[in-house]
Structure 1
Amino acid sequence: MSSKYQLFDRSKLRVLPISERKSLLDTSIIAIPTPCEKVHPSLEIIAESLATARDNGNSRILMIGAHVLRSGMQKYLFDIMEKGLISCIAVNGACAIHDFEYALHGSTTESVATYISNGQFGLWQETGILNDIINEAAKNGRGFGEAVGEYIVKNKLDHADISLFAKAYELNIPITVHVGIGYDIVHEHPNCNGAAVGQASYTDFLIFAAALESLEGGVVMNFGSAIMAPEIYLKALAMIRNAATVSGKEKAICHFTTLVCDLHDLPEKVNIEAPKTSAEYYFRPWKTMLIRTVADGGRSYYVRGFHADTIPQLWTAIKKQSPAGQDFVE
């Protein structure tokens, strides 16, 4: 039985070639890793914690918003991944779109103000290929992130060398995509199958939860995701703690480190929850990642800054701690 309500007819849409779009960003923004003169002390602690977690086989989770890719931080992340300091990457749907457009077309990001005026915003043919990839992934029981990475690599897209998804696929690092239906431009397209999107993204959520199972002694980092990252982390953490308790472990998965890097002005002591009358109370990364989930023995750190500052600083801290002869390639 179909809905008693009227649905929008997607056959009425005009979807244009991406070559007709004026993009705001291209490959020229991809930064070449360069050491920073100064590094925030908290990022030095995180660099050390990541190395310890790697050596002990514990989780090293990176969660990011799309602005990390729009800031050109790909090659910094590649080096950190190649060093074995990231075991899973969690992203939102916008990350997948920007990464795919970069890999395919060498450019990304349209002017919302320009294209929303005539209703063309988001409706570009080549970007819609993502829907075909997701539809196939759902049929085969695979996750969103793995399928996109494999497509970019196997089809040898022109700019695959700057794709986070391709790099993760090549290094066998799970990259999980956590989608909100209706959030992303590909959901406008006639070839979008909501059931497939949901299935592929939920498969990724289960992959993410499995990656968190070795979090004791590990590290979780969040760069610029105010809602997706703290929410999937909270639910997955509940799942793995529940499963550990069922298996007979008490106070399981308590000793780990969290990092949040964002632009909010938080107090120096981030382990005290803001009152509900304060706007800061509703900033999920603070109360979820820096307070509540580490309350039983974990450590948390907050660094305020743009991604173009904080990620290079973390990379620099890692570089300084690397043994001689095992340096990063610049």
Structure 2
Amino acid sequence: MQTPSFNLTSLKIKPLAERQHDLQVDCIRDLERGASPLMVEVLRPVAECLMRAKESGTARILMMGAHVIRSGVQRYLIDLMERGYLDCLAFNGAGIIHDYEFARIGATTESVARYIQTGEFGFWKETAELNDIVNAAYKKDPHVGLGQAVGRAIRESDFPHKDISLFAHAERLGIPATVHVCIGQDIIHQHPNFDGAATGALSYTDFLRFAACVRRLEGGVVMNFGSAVMAPEVYLKALSMARNLAHQEGGEVRRFTTLVCDLHDLPSNFRREAPRSSAGYYYRPWKTMLVRTVADGGDSHYVKGTHADTVPALWQAIQNLEHKSGKTR
């Protein structure tokens, strides 16, 4: 007997105009020198590593959860991309949703508590047009990246707020903006126009592009802002691939810097792995990015803070170092 499958044809989908948005485009901040001096100083060593990595051409990777986009720090990240301090961005699947909605309508985010009660959560027509973009890109070129396809669509659109799209700017600059999708995890997967084969193929291309960036990580920097599962797990596999090839070629990928910015309370000795009996052992950014993968020559940093605080502080730390060295933008 065949297991029944969910029938998508009768789902009710509404326009975004009927959704109550929790965030408006006015939450996106202009570049400003308002970061905490203490946090700027804490992030100074990472800023120094980013400057050295830029000069040497090694990887400058930023991995993030979608809440980074919701925190309104887009202009800081765009500025860092344009100035060469970031040469790879990596997102979970929700990253394209918030970026696309901000660019298209200047608003994003819905109340899960409100809309899940009526079965309306996630059923918004315009947001699901992301599936059409992905499906069309897959038909045209099955080896295009998911982030690249979305970034190009936004850049070539007439969306009123595409100037703050991370994906559009990454595509313009030729910087990989990779999207690592877990099927069933994002609202656009609920829609009848979702094609798992198309999304999977484009996301896999992004994984291979991300792994190629990790191959350049010796002497570089990889950062994780607010991703508890995607970032450490994707990074771990890509690093194993990079080290596999490096060992065959007589090279190595072990001397690099990692940064995790999140809200967890980690102990001062976070460079030691938590015991298996503690909940901290199962927090992947800690054991994977701060301990295990840098144990043979790398360095790690942890900063507790909101994305609205840590991203501007990192930007400000770089500004301060540039000013001190006499470099101009």
- The 5 Å alignment of 1:105-124 reads 105-124=105-124
2:50 maps to 50
Q: Name the SS of the counterpart of 2:178 in structure 1.
A: strand
Query: Which residue, out of 5, 20, 30, partners 1:7?
Result: 5
The answer (yes or no) to whether the contact 1:14–1:123 under 8 Å persists in 2 is yes
Offset of residue 28 of structure 1: 0.8
Counterpart residue number, 1:223: 225
Per-residue CA distance 1:262-284 (angstroms, 9 max, x = gap): 00000112111110000001000
Question: Which string of whole-angstrom CA distances, capped at 9 and with x for unpartnered residues, describes residues 191-226 of structure 1?
Answer: 000111111111100010011111000000000000
Partner-residue secondary structure (3-state), 2:89: strand
- In structure 1, the residue corresponding to 2:144 is in which secondary structure? coil
State the superposition RMSD in angstroms: 1.2
Letter paired with 1:15:
I
Give deviations 1:270-306, integer Å, cap 9, x for gaps: 1111100000010000000000000110000000011
Q: TM-score, normalised by structure 2?
A: 0.96
- Tell me the residue number matched to 2:151: 149
* Offset at residue 167 of structure 1 (A): 1.1
- What amino acid is the match of 1:79? D
Contact 1:10 1:190 survives alignment (8 Å): yes
Q: Note the C-alpha offset of 1:49.
A: 0.5
In the alignment, what sits opposite 2:215? 213
> C-alpha deviations, 1:2-39, integer Å up to 9, x for none?
x9211111001011111111111010100112212504
Separation of aligned partners in 1, 2:219 and 2:269: 22
Tell me if structure 1 keeps the 8 A contact 2:63–2:231: yes
Query: Aligned to 1:126, what secondary structure does the other structure show?
Result: helix
One-letter code aligned to 1:183:
Q
Structure 2 SS opposite 1:220: strand
**1:217-296 pair list within 5 angstroms:** 217-249=219-251, 252-296=252-296
Q: Which moved more, 1:154-163 or 1:275-284?
A: 154-163
2:37 maps to a residue whose letter is K
One-letter identity of the residue aligned with 1:200: L
* Aligned AA (1:253): V
Q: Secondary structure at the match of 1:11?
A: coil
Q: Is the 8 A contact 1:39 1:316 kept in 2?
A: no
Is the contact made by 1:39 and 1:314 (CA closer than 8 Å) also made in structure 2?
no
Q: Which residue of 1 aligns with 2:184?
A: 182
| Whole-angstrom CA distance in 2 between matches of 1:113 and 1:317 | 38
Aligned to 2:9, what secondary structure does the other structure show?
A: helix
In structure 2, the partner of 1:66 is 66
1: distance between equivalents of 2:155 and 2:247?
40
Is the contact made by 2:36 and 2:309 (CA closer than 8 Å) also made in structure 1? no
Q: What residue identity is the alignment partner of 1:254?
A: R
Deviations 1:226-260 (A, max 9, x none): 000000000000001001112233xx101000000
Corresponding residue SS for 1:197 = helix
d(CA) in 1 for partners of 2:68 and 2:212?
A: 24
Which 5+ residue runs of structure 1 have no aligned equivalent? none
Unaligned runs of 5+ in 2: none
Please report how far the alpha carbon of residue 156 of structure 1 lies from its aligned counterpart in structure 2 after TM superposition: 2.8
Aligned residues: 323
Contact 1:106/1:159 (CA < 8 Å) preserved in 2?
A: yes
Query: How far apart are the structure 2 equivalents of 1:248 and 1:219?
Result: 21
Amino acid aligned to 2:79: D
- Cα deviation, residue 136, structure 1: 2.0
Question: What is the SS of the residue equivalent to 2:22?
Answer: strand
Q: CA deviation at 1:325?
A: 6.1
**Amino acid across the alignment from 1:22:** Q
Which position in structure 2 is the counterpart of 1:18? 16
Instruction: Render the CA deviation track for 1:70-122: whole Å, top value 9, x for unaligned.
Output: 11010111111111000100001111100001111111001111111111110
1:95-174 alignment to 2 at 5 Å? Answer: 95-139=95-139, 140=141, 141-174=143-176
On the 8 A contact 1:39/1:317 being kept in 2, the answer is no
